[in-house]
Amino acid sequence: MIEGLSHVTFVVRDLDRMTRILTDIFGAQEVYASGDETFSVAREKFFQVGDLWIAVMEGEPLPSRTYDHVAFKIEGAEFEAYEAKVKAMGLEIRPPR
């Protein structure tokens, strides 16, 4: 029986940029960095955001844009604060539905 979600892994071109996104926007705590080692298939880092483990692995971006995504649930009262953090980093943001 599935007990829950273990972790989510994102393949990213720039580990340092993704580290800033996770720590500055989501308050993530970095719990592991492989450095130059490649125990899996590439350099990687692990973070904890609340109870969720997020892994980021260095790799090439997808050849075309997709709608693949993960949505984080936040309190409505916190929306503007998170939106400001995303905009301050120059990331694309789409209007909520």
C-alpha to C-alpha distance for 26 and 49, rounded to whole angstroms: 7
Please confirm, yes or no, whether 44 is among the known catalytic residues.
Answer: yes
Could you say which of 3, 30, 44, 92 is catalytic?
A: 44
Instruction: Concatenate the DSSP letters of all residues of 44-97 into one string.
Output: EEEEEETTEEEEEEE-PPPSS-----------GGGHHHHHHHHHHTT-------
C-alpha to C-alpha distance for 74 and 61, rounded to whole angstroms: 27
Residues catalogued as catalytic: 44
